[in-house]
Structure 1
């Protein structure tokens, strides 16, 4: 019975980690992170496949967590797809490590590993391993020089930057 309980706990919490050798940003301020972010680049995953015009909006929850609304335009269906989730800090509130859930008790890691701390204009996010990666921006486009710096940083951290999918917006 103990083994079954350990397995269940591991399954429910095992995806909230951060890739080895990578750290989340310190000095994080959730209030400055709230609002809408646009996806600039990502690694492929089935839950975003076929979507364009992808954005995510964060808002504070009454329970101290964060509401998460992902939105993207499904090219083939010709309609918007939305996914509502919730997120909570994994560590202290000034560390960019959260766990996010879109499916009941199952959480995944949301680790902010690069952040424009001056203006909160861009961020890089990873999940529990290097197969999850996003570059986000407050605008639908980043200056090319800024984007290249972020891609170079991601490559140095071991992400497959040659497989990045770059966002398309109307």
Structure 2
């Protein structure tokens, strides 16, 4: 994006002055030279909104994905620490978590759970490698909806962008950068680690201002208890509630 906020600005030609002997190490130069005082409002505008001009460049950057993911170690329960809000997830959901189980055929059973209005809601699906011949952690996840009558397949991308050496916390996204999840083996995550994951997401071109922390209670709830067997949360999600 060369223009600023959809507009193209022509800067006054600066007075002749010597060029700097050395360009900045990062190859980027200040987009505005010192101008007379009457141009100061324009300079302020450029400084204030310059990050918007670079945002599309980050969004077009090729995402780095984990290679050589140990699928067996990745199995088990993960708690959702934060995510981008989604239409297909209760806006008031708490204790959201996912449990992954490796199947004999090499696919992964996915169980997503959340608690809304004091009731447990869940949906199950299947995950599999997008390209069986690739070592990149690019998966496809397929669910059948609606939960109370699962007949329509819905498939989405699941890319593991980062995972620590001990497989205790992970960053998951997808190619359009419309969805993002911060996951942890525990239902809480150290602030320092969380901030590091947020920075990693920012480096991959995500708008981290959209991240929403998921409330988690201590101790986590068990499976037993009232359940939303009619998929009310799913219907409400279609209405944007």
Regarding TM over 0.5, the answer is yes
Q: Give the distance between the partners of 2:214 and 2:72, measured in 1 at CA.
A: 26
Unaligned segments of structure 1, at least 5 residues: 1-18
Task: Confirm or deny that 1:79 pairs with 2:119.
Answer: yes
Task: Give 1 or 2 for the bigger CA radius of gyration.
Answer: 2
Name which of 34, 40, 45 aligns with 2:86.
45
Partner of 1:32: 73
Partner of 1:106: 154
SS of the aligned residue for 2:196 comes to helix
- Over residues 143-170 of structure 1, what are the superposed CA-to-partner deviations in whole Å (9 max), with x where a residue is unaligned? 1111111111111222121121101111
The structure in which a higher percent of residues are strand is: 1
- Over residues 50-99 of structure 1, what are the superposed CA-to-partner deviations in whole Å (9 max), with x where a residue is unaligned? 2110000000122210000000011xx32011010001111247421110
* Displacement after TM superposition at 1:107 (Å): 1.6
Name which of 56, 65, 68 aligns with 2:107.
65
Q: 1:147 to 1:84 in 2, by over 3 A?
A: same
Partner of 1:55: 97
TM-score, normalised by the number of residues in structure 1: 0.82
Partner of 1:167: 214
Task: Confirm or deny that 1:125 pairs with 2:152.
Answer: no
Q: What is the root-mean-square deviation in Å for CA atoms of aligned residues?
A: 1.6
Partner of 2:136: 95
Unaligned segments of structure 2, at least 5 residues: 1-59, 145-151, 218-241
Does structure 2 conserve the Cα–Cα contact (< 8 Å) formed by 1:60 and 1:67?
yes
User: Which of structure 1's runs of 4+ aligned residues deviate more than 6 A?
Assistant: none
SS of the aligned residue for 1:40 comes to strand
Does structure 2 conserve the Cα–Cα contact (< 8 Å) formed by 1:151 and 1:161?
yes
* Displacement after TM superposition at 1:115 (Å): 0.8
Name which of 132, 156, 160 aligns with 2:203.
156
Which has the higher relative contact order, 1 or 2, with Cα contacts under 8 A spaced 6 or more apart?
1
* Displacement after TM superposition at 1:105 (Å): 4.2
